[in-house]
Chains A and B, each alone.
Chain A
Amino acid sequence: MANYTISADAGGTFLDLVLVDDTGRIAVGKSLHTPNNPEVGIMEAVGIAAKALDLDAQSVLDNCTLVFHGTTVTTNGMIERTGVRTGLICTKGFEDTLRIGRVKARTEGLDQYQLTQYTLNDPPPPIVSELDIAGVSGRMDAQGTEILALDMDALEAGATRLVQAGVEAIVISFLHSYANPAHEQQACRFLRDKFPTLHIMASTDVASVLGEYERTNTAVVNANLNPLLQKHLSNLGHALESNGYHGPVLIMQSIGGVSPMENVRHQSVTTLLSGPVGGIVGAQQIGGLIGESNIITTDMGGTSFDVGLVVGGQPIRSAQTVIHRHILTVPAVDIETIGAGGGSAVWLDDNGNIKVGPRSVGSNPGPACYGLGGLDPTVTDADVVLGFIDTSSFAFAHGRASRDYAVAAIEERIGRPLGLSAEEAAHGVLQIVNNQMADLIRKVTIEKGHDPGDFVLLAYGGSGPAHCTAYGAEIGAKKIVIPPYASVFSAYGIAQADVQFSVTGSVLQVIAQDTEIPDETVQTVNDILTRIADQAQDQIGDDFSISGADPQLRLSIDIHYIGQMTDIAVPVDAPLPLDRAAIKDLMATFRKLYDMNYGSGASSPASPIELVNARADVLIPLPSKYQPVELPVADRDPSAARSGSRSVYWGGEIGWRETDIYKADLMQPGNQISGPALIELFRTTVPIYRNQLADKDVFGNLVVTAASKDR
């Protein structure tokens, strides 16, 4: 009997599940997500996937070694504000830190046009009510020196008031706790003792970094969502156990690694990108299979377009992210988003300019072509009008779907006012949205010093395959890859992750570039690196039962010129303790990376450098990576995969043309398809443009390249 691993990605509506065994077999299951009763959805999906491998759910679970899980429980909790009532205890005199939000919190995450709507830009609803905040006197300064002892009476009185008001979680966040957490720890101990059932967290337990607004906000979001995550995980654990699975459950974290569910219970804020990050980890793994280490990942769904980057085999991360208009200072894989998806509304402004999004029509009534009464044309309607997407692919959910509705909507709202036919208008809409997506990819690559020509572009998500051959060509990616499990790609990717534990600590050491580095600085840097390395390794507790390769420790230091707000993460490769020369090397690497980011000559040889934060990542590589069976290579003739033809509007000099349709699952590696052509995947279509060639590689990926390139 084979060993199995299961990966379940619970989205808003569906639960995507991928089942693999150690012989290279893989199967997919999709079910309705049942967050309150996860057993139902998961067991159904396991059953579907097991059946595809001629197995039953019970035997799969009995022989399952690992369960991976990506969750939207925390993200949904944040959007719908279903977290628990959370109170805040902070330094007296600074009770309004969240409300003031460095002024910028009100407009963070708004796009160019939203920013211009002065009367409509209310801040996101606060997570902590103004009435649930208690200031307590006590003060550290920026060096971590205590100026005033913590007022324990005020702490007790404040916390008691909050508890009596009904808060279920309390965050303790004091000024300069990153420099000296003593007051926060003192308050935590006292309150945990006094209110043993209350959920209590210190800001430095979540994000030990300078910047009270971001740190407090991060801790508040975390405490607010922790109980939701705990409840979900315990439901899930019971569901699996009662069906015979007793192994570890690994939760996907925003940082790009998984962690046993016991370790993330109190770190819900690290799971906010749990699903989307799965795609990037999957891209990393596919890159490894096909020998590509630079990958642009693009995920186009119904409402948004997400772009991530893998460089040199590693996902690009950032120390701060904006999630649902909240600035959070937890390290995460960097994902840039714009509101452009299949369901994005297409409209004309007062001057007749064609606009796409950011408003989305949602799933009901959805795009006009669904036939549910939607009158607003969408990007998907444009795809349908042109013949790229056949409405029969929606028939599983929308029986009345028809191209006629799409044509009517595009004609009415866009074509007629501009004097264009429906297909001309739809063609224009696609060019505009594809170029906006290309602009976002440029932002993620070119703006950070990367040439898209050195990258493979990977496309997934419901609408990604239908658009990637356009935006991928626009940015000049060296090839475009559509993986075989594009519609459940996050679930696929989550199972490719390794265990990762991360710890961050403030360094805050300023170094003059032209003078000798003082002994104290060398000492401090080494003390902090050693401490966080130990803390990260300590997370591998005695009860840690996952068998993987030996843990690897990775250290890095975020460096900037003094005063800058953006840091560059410089890897620490030398063994600890670092000597002066090793620190000088770090500075040289910093200048090199700086010039790469901002252009040659941007770095200053004289300005003082500051070592800001240090990070320790412990990685435990897992043996569970999916190793597909390589398919045999056939000849170039794709005709066996041809399933028919339909009329497609390609624009320009081609116009309408009866276009061959191929089925991706019938294609053999080596088959070559020249555009114009359509390749149908599970519920979507990839248009191959005139100057493009498509083939399938031995791992089942669809690969599209520019025809002019030497192959």
Chain B
Amino acid sequence: MTHPIEVDINPVDQSFTPRVDRVTYEILKHRLWQINEEQATTIRRVSGSPIASEVQDYNVGIATAEGKLVACGMSVLAHVTALSHVIKNCMKIIGEGKLRDGDMFITNDPWMGAVHQNDVALVAPIIIDGALVAWTSSVIHHADVGGPVPGSWNLDAYDAFQEAPRYRFLRIVRDGEIADEVMATLMTNSRTPALAELDLRAQVAAAGVVRRRMTELFDKYGAQIVVDVMADSLRDSEIMLRNRIRALPDGVWKTEEHVDHDGHSDSLTTIRLTLTKSGDTLIFDFTDSDDEAAGLINCTRPTLESGPFSAVLTHLCAGMTWNEGIMDRIRIDSRPGSIVDCNFPAPVASGVINSGWAALDASAAAVARMMLDGQESRKLTMAGWAGAPYGVNIFGKRENGRSFATMLGLSGLQGGGARSFADGYDAAGYLHSPRCGAMNVETAEARFPILHLFRRLAPDSGGAGQYRGGRSVEMAITSHGATQAEVIVTSFGSDHSGSPGLAGGMPGAGALGALVHTKSDSTGLIRQCADRSTTLSAGDVKSLPSKARVALNSGDVFLSVTHGGGGFGDPRRRSVDAVAQDLASGAVTGEWAARLYNVHMASDGTIDIDETNRLRQAPVQADDGRPLTQDELPVTLPQNCPHCEEPLWGQNGKASTPLMTTADLAAAGPLIAARVAGISPRFRLVTLSCAQCAGRIEVFQQRIDK
């Protein structure tokens, strides 16, 4: 399915003039944003779930009558494009004529726009004098929406009927009154009914706030002016992006990302992207991606759209008003039946954090490579962020017999991609959530029968580079006060890293999950396990694939490491001072400082600068002399070497193709494919270096199992 857009909607209109005067425009735009912020605040306050209030897995938006989001919240961006689809589908299913003022509708159906069944969307039309003028909308990740498995991620599902029930636009509020039968239905279908109730009440209260404020606004300024400002605000952002895109070079950039394990088997599915930039349009073509999978990792088209949307916002829209107007500059092509545009009723419960997330990774990598080719844009590029989610649902029975279930929300505890001028952020949150959060250890332990043995930044988790990727987190938990507990993990990147490096930087840490069986009690575990290595030697280690459901019995420890950020630039160009600082802080260990950064440690533990310089200038030994072509590479290289600026593919017959060396992934750090000690049977590490200056141009992980 493709959404063709007119490449030249209005080619002369490159400047922006609102229909109302600029002062009224600016005042109302600010007011709309403030009203939407109030909606977000209400959700954070009223929801009783740490998923919304602490982890911030929710979002809010105010849309035009047609369902385009004018004001979007700064939480999970994946929900923005999704909410737009939800509103449009609501009009289709309910019928525009049957919408009444004071109605609110809920859906969690991925074929209606929800990104997965846990994400319950609420939309409410705003009707003034009988005319539909706007919509308000919100979505919260609910802890449990029923289905066969606590937490609602059924790893064993072969279709959506084996997942949580889906609802299509139940009228949860009718004429301003909560429909108790709808509330009761949602509550009885949840294993966490009290959380479900407070989440739904939060969404109803938030939509009520927006309805009241918008009505006041329409009364004060008149419907036409407000409607005009909403439409102009979309155009404002679109034109600003259009001018930024124009300033980038035209071209084509290929990237790919992979999802391992589909819930049933340790399969490997690849999302392939070709980004084409031509004039003022970006075309993200995913049609070459693999077919849909047997298990829950598929996503529907609305989720796919959030990938390019989030990548463009975070890379190209700094300082702008973020709204759906930018989608008018983006075309997304996909193939129905593929992993990123699955058919009904493929299983999708975890799609947004698998194929959807991978589509975002690929989109961000492609946009970053495009930016690297622009003289100005290359100054503000970023390597891969937070390569994969780390979804952990934990559930079971407390000692008092009551059941418990929650998502731990570790996805924010990942490293940010290194920047073209500085290291990446530690524990940065994920790319598509400007306001990401994570729970306090004390909150998690006070609410759920678990005990953390440690939660700390993981050494060697930031991708190596002239600028290092941000560090991720390693943590371990055991059950404490539960008679029975189970863990369901949903991640990807156990055999590679989803956080690619950029401009010669290395990938950051991949995901690692393990269950360690011991005979110790809580006291013994706390005493023995203070970090990753002491835990891995505390008992029998069972490495977990990217999807797993395991019992957490007494004495068992669940260990996880999340993705680090990708590195930027050739690691051998990292300043010796910065490496020394990394060693002192523990960000990089001595062994890996030597292997990744080519520093030589003197016997007194300091860095021997002369020997380091000698090591760093060693010539590249290419694997073979065969000339490379761009076509055989899965990732597009820049036109020129980022270090010496020489053309890479030769010009006027002057051949200077990059030199290729290959290695196991272990060469990029100890936390990539860590469950197989870095010897991944499905990937190899490919390094391309400049034939002129020997500087590293690109380091990527190539799939080799096909």
B is a partner of A:
yes
| CA A147 to CA B453, docked complex, whole Å | 11
One of B205, B240, B436, B456 near A351 (C-beta < 8 A): B240
**A102 at interface, CB cutoff 8 A:** yes
**What's the nearest-Cβ distance from chain A to residue B391, in Å?**
16
**What's the nearest-Cβ distance from chain A to residue B679, in Å?**
29
Contact B441 A94 (CB under 8 A): yes
One of A92, A100, A147, A508 near B473 (C-beta < 8 A): A100
Q: Give residues 474-496 of B contacting A (CB, 8 Å).
A: 480-481
Interface string of B27-41 (1 = CB under 8 A from A): 101110110011001
**Number of chain A interface residues as a range:** 35 or more
Q: Give residues 650-665 of B contacting A (CB, 8 Å).
A: none
Given A99-B427, A103-B436, verify A349-B23 contact (CB < 8 Å).
no
**B633 at interface, CB cutoff 8 A:** no
Interface string of B404-425 (1 = CB under 8 A from A): 0000000011000001011001
One of B26, B45, B319 near A564 (C-beta < 8 A): B45
Contact A564 B47 (CB under 8 A): yes
| CA A120 to CA B74, docked complex, whole Å | 16
Which residue of B has the minimal Cβ distance to A215?
B442
A-B contact pairs, 16 of them (CB 8 A): A96-B456, A99-B457, A100-B427, A100-B438, A104-B438, A107-B435, A112-B33, A117-B319, A147-B523, A354-B26, A432-B27, A447-B41, A561-B198, A562-B447, A598-B42, A599-B208
Contact A566 B426 (CB under 8 A): no
Contact B442 A175 (CB under 8 A): yes
Contact B26 A99 (CB under 8 A): no
**B522 at interface, CB cutoff 8 A:** yes
Q: Which 8 A-B pairs have the closest CB atoms?
A: A93-B454, A563-B48, A351-B16, A565-B53, A566-B45, A428-B23, A103-B412, A104-B437
**What's the nearest-Cβ distance from chain B to residue A74, in Å?**
25
| CA A442 to CA B212, docked complex, whole Å | 13
**B508 at interface, CB cutoff 8 A:** no
**B439 at interface, CB cutoff 8 A:** yes
Contact B318 A106 (CB under 8 A): no
**A544 at interface, CB cutoff 8 A:** no
Which residue of B has the minimal Cβ distance to A651?
B23
**Segment from A130-138, A189-197, A402-410, A460-468 that makes contact with B:** A130-138
Interface centre among A100, A431, A606 (most CB of B within 10 A): A100
**B185 at interface, CB cutoff 8 A:** no
> B457 — which chain A residues lie within 8 A by C-beta?
96, 99-100
**B239 at interface, CB cutoff 8 A:** yes
**A607 at interface, CB cutoff 8 A:** yes
Q: Give residues 425-475 of A contacting B (CB, 8 Å).
A: 427-428, 431-432, 435-436, 439, 442-443, 446-447
Contact B236 A353 (CB under 8 A): yes
**What's the nearest-Cβ distance from chain B to residue A82, in Å?**
23
Given A116-B313, A601-B178, 4 further pairs, Cβ under 8 A: A94-B456, A100-B473, A115-B434, A432-B27
Contact B48 A562 (CB under 8 A): yes
One of B31, B50, B317 near A116 (C-beta < 8 A): B317
**A396 at interface, CB cutoff 8 A:** no
**A653 at interface, CB cutoff 8 A:** no
Which residue of A has the minimal Cβ distance to B427?
A100
| CA A100 to CA B22, docked complex, whole Å | 42
**B275 at interface, CB cutoff 8 A:** no
Given A94-B456, A104-B436, A563-B447, verify A135-B318 contact (CB < 8 Å).
no
> B629 — which chain A residues lie within 8 A by C-beta?
none
Contact A598 B45 (CB under 8 A): yes
One of B25, B445, B527 near A137 (C-beta < 8 A): B527
**What's the nearest-Cβ distance from chain A to residue B563, in Å?**
14
Which residue of B has the minimal Cβ distance to A562?
B48
Given A103-B429, A566-B45, verify A139-B526 contact (CB < 8 Å).
yes
**B315 at interface, CB cutoff 8 A:** yes
Q: Give residues 46-76 of B contacting A (CB, 8 Å).
A: 46-50, 53-54, 56, 74
Which residue of A has the minimal Cβ distance to B431?
A118
| CA A616 to CA B426, docked complex, whole Å | 39
Contact A607 B198 (CB under 8 A): yes
| CA A356 to CA B411, docked complex, whole Å | 36
**B531 at interface, CB cutoff 8 A:** yes
| CA A147 to CA B528, docked complex, whole Å | 13
**B446 at interface, CB cutoff 8 A:** yes
One of B31, B48, B319, B442 near A212 (C-beta < 8 A): B442
One of A102, A106, A562 near B440 (C-beta < 8 A): A102
**A350 at interface, CB cutoff 8 A:** yes
| CA A325 to CA B267, docked complex, whole Å | 44
**B17 at interface, CB cutoff 8 A:** yes
> B197 — which chain A residues lie within 8 A by C-beta?
604, 606-607
**What's the nearest-Cβ distance from chain A to residue B453, in Å?**
6
Q: Which A residues contact B (CB, under 8 angstroms)?
A: 92-97, 99-104, 106-107, 112-113, 115-123, 130-131, 135, 137, 139, 141-142, 147-148, 175-176, 178, 210-214, 349-355, 418, 427-428, 431-432, 435-436, 439, 442-443, 446-447, 508, 560-566, 597-599, 601-602, 604, 606-608
| CA A158 to CA B292, docked complex, whole Å | 54
Given A352-B15, A607-B197, verify A148-B526 contact (CB < 8 Å).
yes
| CA A352 to CA B434, docked complex, whole Å | 26
Q: Which B residues contact A (CB, under 8 angstroms)?
A: 15-17, 21-23, 25-27, 29-31, 33-34, 37-38, 41-42, 44-50, 53-54, 56, 74, 178, 194-195, 197-198, 201, 204-205, 208-209, 213, 236, 239-240, 243, 313-315, 317-320, 322, 380-382, 412-413, 419, 421-422, 425-429, 431, 434-443, 445-447, 451-457, 473, 480-481, 522-523, 526-527, 529-531, 584-586
One of B33, B49, B205 near A602 (C-beta < 8 A): B205
Contact A117 B318 (CB under 8 A): yes
> A431 — which chain B residues lie within 8 A by C-beta?
23, 27
Contact B45 A148 (CB under 8 A): no
**What's the nearest-Cβ distance from chain B to residue A558, in Å?**
13
| CA A565 to CA B49, docked complex, whole Å | 9
| CA A119 to CA B42, docked complex, whole Å | 29
| CA A92 to CA B454, docked complex, whole Å | 7
**What's the nearest-Cβ distance from chain A to residue B502, in Å?**
12
Given A147-B526, A508-B446, verify A116-B531 contact (CB < 8 Å).
no
Contact A141 B451 (CB under 8 A): yes
**What's the nearest-Cβ distance from chain B to residue A688, in Å?**
22
**What's the nearest-Cβ distance from chain A to residue B482, in Å?**
12
> A560 — which chain B residues lie within 8 A by C-beta?
48
> B205 — which chain A residues lie within 8 A by C-beta?
598-599, 602
Contact A599 B382 (CB under 8 A): no
Given A103-B429, A353-B25, A354-B23, verify A564-B382 contact (CB < 8 Å).
no
> A213 — which chain B residues lie within 8 A by C-beta?
440
Interface centre among A117, A120, A351, A352 (most CB of B within 10 A): A351
**What's the nearest-Cβ distance from chain A to residue B149, in Å?**
22
Contact A118 B38 (CB under 8 A): no
> B44 — which chain A residues lie within 8 A by C-beta?
565-566
Contact A102 B438 (CB under 8 A): yes
> A100 — which chain B residues lie within 8 A by C-beta?
413, 426-427, 438, 455-457, 473
**What's the nearest-Cβ distance from chain B to residue A552, in Å?**
30
> A123 — which chain B residues lie within 8 A by C-beta?
425
> A141 — which chain B residues lie within 8 A by C-beta?
445, 451, 480-481, 522
One of B15, B209, B426 near A599 (C-beta < 8 A): B209
| CA A418 to CA B421, docked complex, whole Å | 36
One of B16, B54, B208, B442 near A352 (C-beta < 8 A): B16
| CA A439 to CA B527, docked complex, whole Å | 53
Given A353-B26, A566-B53, A598-B46, verify A102-B437 contact (CB < 8 Å).
yes
Contact B23 A212 (CB under 8 A): no
